[in-house]
Amino acid sequence: MRIVLLTSSLNIGGAQTQLMLLAEGLKSKGHAVHVISYNPARELSKNLTQSDISFTVIERKGRWEFWSFLKTLSAEINSFKPDCVYSFLLGPNVILSLIKNRLNGAKIIWGIRASDMDFSKYHFSEQFTFFISRLLSRRADLIISNSNAGMKHHVAYGYPRDKFKVVHNGVDHSKYKPDKTSGLRVRQELGLSEKHLVIGTVARIDPMKGYDTLIGAAKNLCHTYPQLRFVCLGGGDKLLKQKLQNTVVEQELERFFIWIDKFDDLNAFYNALDLLVLPSSYGEGFSNVLVEAALCEIPAIATNCGDSLEILKDQNTIVQRKNPDSLSIAIAKWINQRDEFIKAPKGLAQTYSVNQMVESTLNCLSLAIH
């Protein structure tokens, strides 16, 4: 099978990481893969080169050159003579549908990576793109969602249910495992001791990730449990980050919070935690961090957003979204009943493995082609 994977950028992110894992998996199974990006940022290009996967970056310079860009993109796709083109995220999905008639019969597959987005928090162009996608969704030959929540949300907004398949993300479980030694090293680097109860959040700084809920919960807890420390790992919106940090200072919580933009050894980071919290407000599809932490035997609490309950398998670890009180009650329960918390649902590594994601995706692509 000849497959083109289309993405808006090769920056490191959740969707791009899954694209990279999929490209490597498809190639290892003997399929021809070509990756196309239309953003000059190319952090993952080194990974593609090392894996001997061909890629092209077609820079989209401005809205006035949009039609010229579509023509160039069509020609690049056709030069590979693909059986299908699989796009990741909203923008690439729309663009792929606009050029479908130029693709010499190649099937087009959309990738859905989010659920109930609140577009009022973003630029108007995001809401407009979603509106256009609803109109164009029937042009897709198949739509793959990485979560059941994402599928249900998009079907409710007019996407065709009969074209949907769900393929959960894959996590390389060989990279994530319990390692107390590396965890202690990270604690020392962060100035944390064994007496601290370390709660980590791994998420980019974005309105959807619910950091305001986390801060609200910390306000409820820190004076009762002064041993708590909240470590927030993720880059993103610098203005929002400053606003969040200002709130922490106003609430006199600054000694309880540590902010980190990037950490290279995620396995060591997870092992430094006592608890992972995912306080997402909306838009979450499938959260890899819940699986990664569980593979390190770190318990987790998450809001009822996306497929979090399906991943964690325990209603007691799921709390109301945008509700600091609900989150603080759950964390307090964990503090007082730590030994009773489930660390990793049985069979998690096999259920959400990279190989299973690749195999399930291959089945979907074959279905679309035949």
Examine the domain organization and report whether 252 and 295 are in the same domain: yes
Q: Please give the share of the chain, as a percent, with pLDDT higher than 70.
A: 96
Examine the domain organization and report whether 107 and 236 are in the same domain: no
Examine the domain organization and report whether 342 and 363 are in the same domain: no
Asked whether the predicted pLDDT for residue 349 surpasses 60, the reply is no
Examine the domain organization and report whether 223 and 334 are in the same domain: yes
Examine the domain organization and report whether 26 and 79 are in the same domain: yes
Query: Tens digit of pLDDT for each residue in 48-105?
Result: 888 899 999 998 766 678 889 999 999 999 999 999 999 999 999 999 999 999 999 9
Give the CB-side neighbour count of residue 238, counting CA atoms within 13 A: 0
Query: Tens digit of pLDDT for each residue in 309-346?
Result: 999 888 778 999 999 999 999 999 999 988 776 665 65
User: Containing domain of residue 247, as a range?
Assistant: 173-351
Examine the domain organization and report whether 140 and 183 are in the same domain: no
Examine the domain organization and report whether 266 and 235 are in the same domain: yes
Query: Tens digit of pLDDT for each residue in 168-177?
Result: 999 998 999 9
Q: Please give the share of the chain, as a percent, with pLDDT higher than 90.
A: 81
Examine the domain organization and report whether 57 and 68 are in the same domain: yes
Examine the domain organization and report whether 45 and 108 are in the same domain: yes
Examine the domain organization and report whether 337 and 208 are in the same domain: yes
| pLDDT at site 41 | 64
Examine the domain organization and report whether 297 and 216 are in the same domain: yes
Examine the domain organization and report whether 164 and 183 are in the same domain: no
**Residue 276, domain CATH:** 3.40.50.2000
**How many structural domains does the chain have?**
2
| pLDDT at site 45 | 80
| pLDDT at site 63 | 67
